[in-house]
C-alpha cells in the first residue's frame, strides 16, 4: 500500500494538482481498512489513471487509487468466457490480452486511455461499442462503511457515458473488480463510419478481418484523430454529444442539410459536439495555453503549462458560442475536481 501526503495526482491533461492525502491500495481489504480509518473525516475522491479528470484546484481531501490487478477466467466453455478483472488493470492491456486469447467484444474499444474500474464508472464507448455491452456485474466497496456490494448490470444504470456511479451514487462506491462476459466467436462490428475505410486502407478485406486487424484499424483511426496525452495533455472527448429534440435537428438541417447525426430513440437525435464546435470556428483555435484540437474539435488540449482554470475558460467560451449559434447546451464529459 502506498500512503502519501501532499501528493501530485497524475492526470492526462498534464495539470499540476496536489492531493492533501493519497492512498493506493492493492487488495480489497486494504481499501476497507483505509475507509474504516478515514470514514468520519476527509472528502474522498477515487481516481483511475486520471484520463477523464480536470483539476480546477488542489484537492484538499483523500485521493484513492486502485492497484488491484488480475484478469481471471471464472468460466470458459461453449461460446463465452467469463472474466473477473481488477479495477486497476489498464483498459487497453485488457483489450490486448483478450484479443490475444481469442476472447471477443472489446476490439472496438482499443486504445481508450484509463483503467478498468473507471471504464465501468464511465461506460466508455467508441466505434459502436460500449463497456456496458460486456459488463455483467461490478464489485464495489462502500466508501462510507467499507462494506462490499456487488451491482448487477441492471443496477448500474448504464446509458451513454453514464452509470449510477456517476449520477445518483456519485462518490459513494469504489469499484474493485468488474465481471464481464466475452464471446469466443468473433463477429466484428464494422458499422461505425470510417472503420471499413481504415481496414481497406490497411489492405484488409472487411469480410475477412481478424480480431487483431480490427484492433489495429481502431488504433490507427484513434491515432490519426486524437492527440496522444504523452505528447499533448488532454482528456479525450471533453464534451458529450448532445441529444436534442428532432425539431432542433430539423432547424439545423435547414441551414446545413448534411449535418452528421444519429437516431437516439424516443424521436431524439444525437448531433456530434465536434461538428457543432467546428461550425462555430473553434477547431484549432487557442485561448491562452488551452486550445481546441485541430483534428477533432471535441477534444480540448493543454498547449503547455495550462491550469485547470485555463481549460475551464476555453470550455465556457466554446459552450457559450455553441449555445448562441445553435441553441444547444454542451455538457462536459470530463469530471471537474475542485473549485
> What is the DSSP code (8-state) at residue 162?
B
Q: How is 255-291 classified by DSSP, letter by letter?
A: H-TT---EE-STTEEE--HHHHHHHTT-TT-EETTEE
Q: How far is the CB of 247 from ligand EPU (least distance, A)?
A: 21
The piece of 37-45, 95-103, 236-244, 312-320 that touches ligand EPU (CB under 6 A) is 236-244
Q: How far is the CB of 216 from ligand EPU (least distance, A)?
A: 16
Alpha helix (H) residue ranges in the chain: 28-38, 91-101, 116-122, 195-201, 211-225, 246-255, 273-279, 308-326
Q: How far is the CB of 54 from ligand EPU (least distance, A)?
A: 13
Instruction: List the grid coordinates of 4.
Output: 502519501
Among 8, 41, 70, 260, binds ligand EPU (CB under 6 A): 260
Active site residue 237: yes
Contact predicate 74/81, CB 8 Å: no
Nearer to ligand EPU, 47 or 298 (CB): 298
Q: Is 86 in the site for ligand EPU (CB under 6 A)?
A: no
> What is the DSSP code (8-state) at residue 34?
H
Among 53, 118, 126, 318, binds ligand EPU (CB under 6 A): 126
Residues with Cβ within 8 Å of residue 233, at least 6 apart in sequence: 12, 13, 14, 15, 301, 302, 306
* Residues recorded for the chain: 339
Q: Is 283 in the site for ligand EPU (CB under 6 A)?
A: yes
Among 20, 148, 240, 303, binds ligand EPU (CB under 6 A): 240
Q: Is 272 in the site for ligand EPU (CB under 6 A)?
A: yes
Q: Is 298 in the site for ligand EPU (CB under 6 A)?
A: yes
DSSP-derived 3-state class of residue 179: strand
Q: Is 296 in the site for ligand EPU (CB under 6 A)?
A: yes
Closest CA to 199 of 186, 184, 216: 216
Nearer to ligand EPU, 171 or 193 (CB): 193
Active site residue 161: yes
Residues forming the active site? 161, 237, 333
The residue ranges that bind ligand EPU (CB under 6 A) are 126-127, 192, 225-226, 236-237, 240-241, 260, 272, 274-275, 278, 283, 296-298, 333
Amino acid at each position: 500500500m502506498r500512503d502519501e501526503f501532499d501528493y501530485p495526482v497524475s492526470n492526462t491533461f498534464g495539470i499540476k494538482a496536489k492531493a492533501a492525502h493519497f492512498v493506493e491500495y492493492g487488495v480489497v481489504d486494504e481499501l476497507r481498512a483505509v475507509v474504516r480509518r478515514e470514514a468520519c473525516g476527509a472528502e474522498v475522491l477515487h481516481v483511475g489513471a486520471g484520463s477523464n479528470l480536470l483539476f480546477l484546484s488542489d484537492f484538499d481531501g483523500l485521493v484513492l487509487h486502485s492497484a488491484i490487478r488480475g484478469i481471471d477466467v471464472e468460466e470458459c466453455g461453449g461460446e463465452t468466457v467469463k472474466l473477473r478483472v481488477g479495477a486497476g488493470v489498464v483498459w487497453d492491456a485488457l483489450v490486448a490480452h483478450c484479443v490475444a486469447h481469442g476472447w471477443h467484444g472489446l476490439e472496438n474499444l482499443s486504445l481508450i486511455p484509463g483503467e478498468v474500474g473507471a471504464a465501468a464508472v464511465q461506460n466508455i464507448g467508441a466505434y459502436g461499442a460500449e463497456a456496458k455491452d460486456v459488463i455483467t456485474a461490478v464489485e464495489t466497496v462502500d466508501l462510507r462503511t467499507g462494506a462490499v456490494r456487488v451491482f448487477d448490470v441492471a443496477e448500474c444504470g448504464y446509458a451513454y457515458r453514464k452509470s449510477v456511479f456517476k449520477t445518483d451514487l456519485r462518490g459513494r462506491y469504489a469499484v474493485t473488480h468488474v465481471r464481464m462476459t466475452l464471446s469466443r466467436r468473433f463477429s466484428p462490428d464494422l458499422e461505425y463510419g470510417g472503420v471499413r475505410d481504415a481496414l481497406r486502407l490497411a489492405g484488409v478485406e472487411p469480410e475477412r478481418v481478424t480480431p487483431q486487424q480490427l484492433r489495429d484499424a481502431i488504433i490507427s483511426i484513434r491515432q490519426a484523430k486524437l492527440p496522444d496525452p504523452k505528447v499533448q495533455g488532454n482528456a479525450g472527448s471533453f464534451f458529450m454529444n448532445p441529444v436534442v429534440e428532432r425539431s432542433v435537428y430539423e432547424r439545423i438541417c435547414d441551414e446545413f442539410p448534411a449535418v452528421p447525426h444519429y437516431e437516439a430513440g424516443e424521436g431524439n437525435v444525437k448531433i456530434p459536439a465536434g461538428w457543432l464546435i467546428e461550425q462555430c470556428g473553434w477547431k484549432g483555435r487557442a485561448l491562452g495555453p488551452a486550445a481546441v484540437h485541430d483534428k477533432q474539435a471535441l477534444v480540448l488540449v493543454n498547449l503547455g503549462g495550462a491550469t485547470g482554470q485555463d481549460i475551464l475558460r476555453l470550455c465556457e467560451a466554446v459552450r457559450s458560442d455553441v449555445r448562441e449559434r445553435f441553441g444547444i447546451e454542451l455538457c462536459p464529459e470530463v469530471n471537474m475536481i475542485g473549485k
